[in-house]
Each structure stands twice: as structure tokens, then as C-alpha cells.
A and B are shown apart, each in its own frame.
Chain A
Amino acid sequence: MKKRRISLKNTPKVREYNQALRIGSKIQHVVQHNGAWAVKRSGASRVTKVYDKQNTAINKAIKIAKNCGTSVIVHGRDGRIRDIRRP
């Protein structure tokens, strides 16, 4: 099997898709962190902030996600996705 590169024109749809990819990299995660709950951006090495309660962390993450136009992924204690919130 060979691959042949297709050059995509810069149409509004292509621009919109690329913008969604950029926004998608700002997805906010709510994860367990040292016995508490933290908000963490996709790909970030450090957490944004730590909260005692998961609910507080979710609300904070939703606020950030709303500003970035992205989504919140809530992870359970085992690290698996428990819920996806799209404000």
C-alpha cells in the first residue's frame, strides 16, 4: 500500500475543522489527584487547580471550558472516563 498526499484547499469547512482541532487540544479534564480532585488541561504536565470535592472541580472545569469553547471530561477514580460535559 502506498500513500499519496492530497492537498486540501483552505475552504471555510477546512478552516472550521482545523479550529475545532485547536480547541480540542484545550479540553479540560477532572481527575483524581493526591486524594483530591484536580482540573487539568489536555496535554498539560501540571494540574490547573486542586479541589477537595469532585463537584467543585467539575464546576470550575466547566467555567474554563465555556471560555475556551471546549468540553470537560470527568474521569473516575480508576482514571476511566465517567462523563463528558459539553457546556
Chain B
Amino acid sequence: MKSLIIEVDAYKLEVPGYDPKKSWKYHKQSAKLADVVFKQALKNAQYKKVVLMCGGSASGKSEFVSSNLIDKGVIVYDGTLSSIEGAKVKIRNSKRKRKNVEINAIIPDNITKVFRAFLARDRTIPIDVFIETHSLCRSTLLWILEHQMDIDVKIYESSVKKDKLRVDELIFGDRNDMTKYVKLIQISKQEIRKLIQLQP
């Protein structure tokens, strides 16, 4: 069975008066639309599982979804999960509808390389959005690991090899190991700002 993919960015096109040159201005509205569709999707009894994607801009989430989750017969919410509140609501709503929830986090091994893809691809999105999402999604992931013990979490590492996206699943001995790792990879906005000081 095909998965039901809810891609937050795709709903920007549905916002009345959408201007692609100022796409970041429509993020809140498109997220609201995506949330409505997500709630509707949760009512569908055919789907037993919800996958919430977690990762910063251009980390390779949508690429992973299009390649590896499209045929899994699950509901995929393809957003950054950069707010703990947003994650809480999505998890709560999914549980109410008796869905199994899984978090799939995509963490780049090198933020600078991903930033290059972001500059080339997401040309109308402000740099601050890149910085914010990469920092905040990691805090949300840590919060989920520490506070939502019944939620399965999978962590994937995205990397760039010969100008091609590569994804590896990170396999941990147990949840404690995973939590320790996620604690280690916490990164502030200032640190990301320093990392993306690309040199010629």
C-alpha cells in the first residue's frame, strides 16, 4: 500500500496569493493546512502507523521519504519537527487515533555540505530558517527520547559523497546509547552560524 505523505512545503501552493519568491512568509499558513490534512489522515483506519520526520532544511528528509517510505503504507508527516509543542500535538493526536508513532530523524554529518545544497535549492528561504531548523529539530529529538519513551525513534545520517546524497541508518545498542548520542549532537544557532562560514 502506498504511504500518505503530508509534505508541509507542498501546501504553500494552496495558500491564496502564494508568491514563490517569498515562500518563507507562507510557512505558518501551509503548516496549518498540512495539520488539517494530517488530522483527516489520522481518521483513516487503513493506516496503522505514523512516521514523523525530523531534520533541518535540506537535510535530505523528503528525498528519503520519496525513496524509502513511499511504499510502506504509513502516514508520513514530512516537516522539520523543530518545535517541541508541535511534536507533542502530533504525537498526542496520533495516539488518540491508536496509531503507532515512529520518529525518523535525518541528521547531516556535515552541515556545511548540506548548506551548499540549501543555497542552490531553497533560494528564497532565509538563511536563518536553515540555522533555526537544524538547531531546534535536535532539541525536539532529544525531548522525545527523554520524555516519550513509548515512541520508536530511528536516526539516519545524511552525507554527501561525490556530489550525491547518501543515507546511513545509525544503529544503537539501546535507547540510552541513542539518547547519549543525541545529547552530543545538540548544536546552538551560533555554532551553526560559525560552521556555515564557507571559505572559498
- Chain A residues engaging chain B, CB cutoff 8 angstroms: 1-6, 8-9, 11-14, 16-18, 20-25, 27, 29, 31, 40-44, 69-71, 73, 75, 79-81, 84, 86
Contact = CB atoms under 8 A, between A and B. Distances in A.
Contact of B197 (A13, A21, A80): A80
B45 interface: no
Interface string B91-124: 0000000000000000000000100111111011
Contacts of B196: 81
Interface in B45-95: 58, 60, 62-68, 70
Contacts of B168: 3-6
A41 B165 CA distance: 22
Given A1-B170, A27-B198, A41-B200, A18 B157 contact: no
Contacts of B199: 29, 79
A1 B117 contact: no
Contact of A18 (B127, B163, B169): B163
B200 A70 contact: no
A31 to B, nearest CB: 6
Given A4-B169, A27-B198, A21 B119 contact: no
Q: Sorted from nearest, which 9 A-B pairs have the closest CB atoms?
A: A24-B116, A29-B200, A20-B121, A23-B120, A13-B66, A11-B66, A9-B67, A20-B120, A24-B120
Q: Classify chain B's interface size.
A: 35 or more
14 contacts: A6-B156, A8-B64, A8-B67, A11-B67, A16-B121, A18-B164, A20-B117, A20-B120, A21-B116, A29-B199, A29-B200, A43-B200, A44-B200, A71-B120
B63 A8 contact: yes
A14 B165 contact: yes
B160 interface: yes
B166 interface: yes
Contacts of A1: 170-173, 177, 181
A22 B119 CA distance: 11
B167 A6 contact: yes
Contacts of B119: 24, 27, 70-71, 84, 86
Given A5-B166, A84-B119, 20 more contacts: A3-B170, A6-B68, A6-B169, A8-B67, A8-B167, A11-B66, A13-B66, A17-B60, A17-B121, A18-B164, A20-B120, A20-B121, A23-B121, A25-B163, A27-B119, A42-B198, A42-B200, A69-B120, A81-B198, A86-B123
A31 B200 CA distance: 8
Nearest to B194: A80
Nearest to B196: A81
Contacts of B166: 5, 8
